[in-house]
Amino acid sequence: MPAPLLLVTLGDPAGIGPEVIVKALHRWRRPEGLSLRLVGEYSLLEEAASRLGLRLPPDVQVESLGLLTPGSVAPGLAQARCGDAAYRYFAHAVQACLRGEAQGICTAPLSKEAMNLAGHAFVGHTDILDRMTGEKGVVMALWHPKLVVGHVTDHMSLRQALATIHGPRIEQVVRLTWDALVRTGRVAEDGRPRIALAGVNPHAGEHGLFGREEIEILQPAMEKLAADGYPTFGPFAADTVFLQGLRGRYHAVIAMYHDQGFGPMKTIGFADGVNCTLGLPFVRTSPDHGTAFEIAGQGVAEPESMVASLALAADLILR
């Protein structure tokens, strides 16, 4: 039986994707029993390695799609050709997973602007996955050594997010986050994870004084979850619950909208954070940062989040 396969997509070649991939491959120790394949142009990876004074590891496969050459990429700029390539690298990997040829994807960052310039009208990897897999309502979770944060809403305006927060979605996010925590052994002594919900409003609504979402939406969802065997805690004020999670009181916090979760998590552990998509038939992780066009091609990008992304993907695949 062949070893499970993890695919690593190049992301936007004008960003720091090629650089952090090359650096990460020199720092990460691939576990036995896992195959690895890079999806992107070999020439771009080789150029990045040469610029860093490194070489691509000889045991790593590279699947080139013939979309770009080093001379066609201007580092640090949003370009339609690079956005198109980044989308196609990722779509190619998703299709391979859906065919059962690979069991997971670790994705270098892409530029939403460049991808849309190329005519691919998506707001990011999660949106593409939602469309390609048919798995509606997948969850964007930030994975940190000390805390996991699942998001009820992600890439949408705050006005739209508030209209999208409802009981069934909260229940779905909690269940998927719960299952991921159990799968990775992040549980209490009773075998169950401790998951807290952040409130929507300041002070979690202050008993209805600052809004009634906690009373009318979150609490009924929590009662339904508890009845189904998924007890949760809260809702708590978002300005304190993440600190309590970091101190070990909770394994995960459920954020109601993008910045509520991303702000604290990127502050506490930018280098160690991993973006993990829950609810898919395969594993998907990515670094918790963007293309960083402002430093692309300078050799100064930090690969720690890519290393953590590879490690989490391998752990999830091999469990």
- pLDDT, tens only, 51-103: 999 998 888 899 999 999 988 999 999 999 999 999 999 999 999 999 999 99
**% pLDDT > 70, the chain:** 99
What top-level class would CATH report for the domain 137-279? alpha beta
- pLDDT, tens only, 269-302: 766 789 999 999 999 999 988 899 999 989 999 9
pLDDT at 127 over 80: yes
Q: What is the mean pLDDT of residues 201-207?
A: 91
Q: At 172, is the secondary structure helix, strand, or coil?
A: helix
pLDDT for the residue numbered 248: 93
pLDDT band at 1 (very low <50, low <70, confident <90, very high): confident
- pLDDT, tens only, 100-113: 999 999 999 999 99
> Alpha-carbon distance 234 to 264, whole Å?
18
Q: At 233, is the secondary structure helix, strand, or coil?
A: strand
pLDDT at 230 over 90: yes
pLDDT for the residue numbered 175: 96
What angle in degrees, to the nearest 10, is found between the helix axes of 238-246 and 258-269?
40
Q: What is the mean pLDDT of residues 3-26?
A: 95
pLDDT for the residue numbered 145: 87
pLDDT for the residue numbered 125: 87
pLDDT band at 318 (very low <50, low <70, confident <90, very high): very high
**CATH 3.40.718.10 location in the chain:** 1-135+281-319, 137-279
Q: Sheet of 5-9: strands edge to edge?
A: 61-63, 35-39, 5-9, 104-107, 283-287, 274-278, 139-143, 148-151, 252-255, 195-198, 233-236
Backbone angles phi, psi at 158, to 5 degrees: -60, -40
Pair 135, 114: CB distance under 8 Å:
no
> Alpha-carbon distance 171 to 223, whole Å?
10
pLDDT for the residue numbered 270: 63
Q: What is the mean pLDDT of residues 212-234?
A: 97
What top-level class would CATH report for the domain 1-135+281-319? alpha beta
Per-chain mean pLDDT for the chain: 93
Q: What is the mean pLDDT of residues 118-141?
A: 87
- Locate 295 and state its tokens: 């430093």
Enter the pTM of the model.
Answer: 0.89
